[in-house]
Amino acid sequence: MIVDTIQELIERFRKVRALEEIKANNKQQQDTEKKYRILVNEIRNFVQVFVYARDHLFFSPSERLENELASLLPKLKEMVREGTVDIDMAKDARKRFNRVKCLMAEDWKSHFSKNYGPTIGTLRVIEGISADRARKCLTDIDPAETWSPNTSTSTLKKLARGLTNSSCLIRELELDDNVVCFLQKMTSGDARVSDLTHDLMLWMKKEGIEDKVSLSFIS
């Protein structure tokens, strides 16, 4: 009798353990599927911003970035098996996406410096001429310098707006290479009287900034 009772308790315990394991596995599966949904949303947002950069800002990704991105998207489809998300494949997809983000940050840094660096430099040297407009352009441009999880289409649209306004400002001020070079020297304190050509004097007079330029002796 006692043996039968003990055996019954053992069986009940085994059933309870089995139910607990099923429950634990279900919880793990639910957590995995939640992470999968978060990952898919992150990738969707990333792709939207990536496409905007490519189509509107002439961003050209490196071959490594293209390959990583091309291999990532099919992996998402493979992750779903028989209506559930494979845990190991979910982890692998997250690692792949992290690599994509790192490569994107590297490629964007190079793209930004090469394509927008000269414009930013020009804006900084003309702040003394048209401070408000130059700073407004920089306010739109600067946040897009570094690609991060917070980079959005809104960030890039402001960048595009800042670049457009910068071009208009530079064109209105008639800033040719000689003028920009002189302004850069002034900003760094390297401008000399010998740099003041007749054309530069005419330009400063036209822009009404001749009284903003001062000369001093070098110690």
Find the angle CA(132)-CA(134)-CA(138) to the nearest 5 degrees: 115
Give the confidence band of 13 by pLDDT, cuts at 50, 70, 90: very low
Q: What phi and psi, each to the nearest 5 degrees, are found at residue 60? A: -115, 110
Give the confidence band of 215 by pLDDT, cuts at 50, 70, 90: low
Return the percent helix, strand and coil in the chain, to nearest 5. Answer: 80, 0, 20
pLDDT, greater one: 18 or 126: 126
Tell me the two tokens of residue 136: 């407004």
pTM of the model: 0.76
Note the pLDDT of residue 23.
Answer: 55
Evaluate if residue 3 carries a pLDDT over 50.
no
Q: What is the pLDDT of residues 180-190, one digit of tens each?
A: 888 777 766 77
Q: What is the pLDDT of residues 52-88, one digit of tens each?
A: 999 999 999 999 999 998 888 777 777 665 456 777 8
Note the pLDDT of residue 24.
Answer: 60
